[in-house]
Homo-oligomer: A and B are copies of this chain.
Amino acid sequence: MPGNDARLGWLGTGRMGAAMAARLIDAGHRVTVWNRTKPKTAPLAARGATVAGRLTDLGGCDIVFVTVSGPADLAEVVMGEHGLLSGPRCPPVIVDCSTVSAETSAAVRAAARRAGAGFLAAPVSGNPHVVAEGGACVVASGPAEVFGRVRPYLEQIAKVAVYAGPEEQARLVKLCHNLYLGMMVQALVEVTSLAEKGGTDRAAFLTFLSGTVVGSDWVRKRSGDLAGCDWTPTFTTDLLRKDFDLGLAAARALEVPMPVGSLVHQLIQSAIGTGARGKDLLSLYEQQARNAALGPAAE
């Protein structure tokens, strides 16, 4: 029963999933939730959600959203022995909002299709806090008709819900986002070190840059960390490199040259080779400052 009044299921109520499901519940939708460790569903139950006894009970919903922590989990909760497709009823639509590879996505999609379910890959940009405030963005791919049915709900979850294409395009778009982030960070550390060696205080420079039209929320939020050389991990150089590995492999397959993307990939590799492994991606500054002979990066 589609439309704006579908019965919704939510599989996986970790921090992200809970924040997203909460927005649907608060908007008045009927949401049935399930989580491997049941106590995590309590806050949503308090908010009005029904808690499913078994994962397969979600098969009775019109649309089941999935938010799990990676490809192996996604495969298991959908295609596994006790997964969503193993139950007596299969939901007509499954929407995966996790961050998984295009390969896993395609495999799960194929399994869903064989079981008669439409599958939407719908990764989310934004952390739980951003989601809660309605500031998240979703990019979705799968059959256009499936997107049409899910769209009203995505738009309640996020401020932007974009359709990227009929297959795994949403995964590539997410990689593009992270490639762009990596390039932006390298650009940032280059100009920051230049201004700094020219005599401008790092924090002052970042305040200026953040305030102008080229400033982004990301730069604004992280300026303090960069100014203070705080490399506490939020997104490590290694994870960033992995996204560059995947993104550049996709570019190669599609025969799209990525001159700057590719150079940044190598610079990340150099940074990892000289001590940035496991540090936040902002630590690209350390390599840049060292190469610019800027003296101790952090006083």
* Per-residue interface assignment for chain A, residues 199 to 233, with 1 indicating a CB less than 8 Å from any chain B CB and 0 otherwise: 11100110111011111111001000000000000
Are A160 and B255 also in contact (CB < 8 A) when A186-B260, A187-B183, A191-B179 are? Answer: no
Residues of chain B with a CB closer than 8 A to A181's CB: 214
Residues of chain B with a CB closer than 8 A to A6's CB: none
A73 to B: closest C-beta gap in Å: 24
Residues of chain B with a CB closer than 8 A to A37's CB: none
Residues of chain B with a CB closer than 8 A to A176's CB: 191-192, 194-195, 205, 209
Are A266 and B257 also in contact (CB < 8 A) when A160-B211, A214-B184 are? Answer: yes
Determine chain A's interface SS by DSSP, over half rule: helix
Interface contact A204-B260, CB-CB below 8 Å: no
Residues of chain B with a CB closer than 8 A to A69's CB: none
Residues of chain B with a CB closer than 8 A to A117's CB: none
Residues of chain B with a CB closer than 8 A to A263's CB: 259-260, 262-263
Residues of chain B with a CB closer than 8 A to A272's CB: 255
A71 adjacent to chain B (CB < 8 Å)? no
Interface contact A221-B213, CB-CB below 8 Å: yes
Bound form: Cα–Cα A270–B207 in Å: 27
Interface contact A267-B259, CB-CB below 8 Å: yes
Central interface residue in A197, A212, A254, by most chain B CB within 10 Å = A212
Residues of chain B with a CB closer than 8 A to A193's CB: 256
Bound form: Cα–Cα A188–B183 in Å: 9
Interface contact A190-B259, CB-CB below 8 Å: yes
Interface contact B256-A165, CB-CB below 8 Å: no
Bound form: Cα–Cα A254–B265 in Å: 14
A273 adjacent to chain B (CB < 8 Å)? yes
Interface contact B251-A194, CB-CB below 8 Å: yes
A177 adjacent to chain B (CB < 8 Å)? yes
Give the interface of A toward B (CB within 8 A).
125-126, 130, 137, 139, 141, 159-160, 162-167, 169, 172-173, 176-177, 179-181, 183-184, 186-188, 190-195, 197-201, 204-205, 207-209, 211-218, 221, 245, 247, 250-252, 254-267, 269-270, 272-274, 288, 290-293
> Can you list 15 residue pairs at the A/B interface with Cβ under 8 Å?
A137-B212, A162-B207, A162-B208, A164-B195, A164-B204, A165-B198, A169-B195, A176-B195, A176-B205, A181-B214, A183-B187, A194-B247, A197-B255, A273-B293, A274-B293
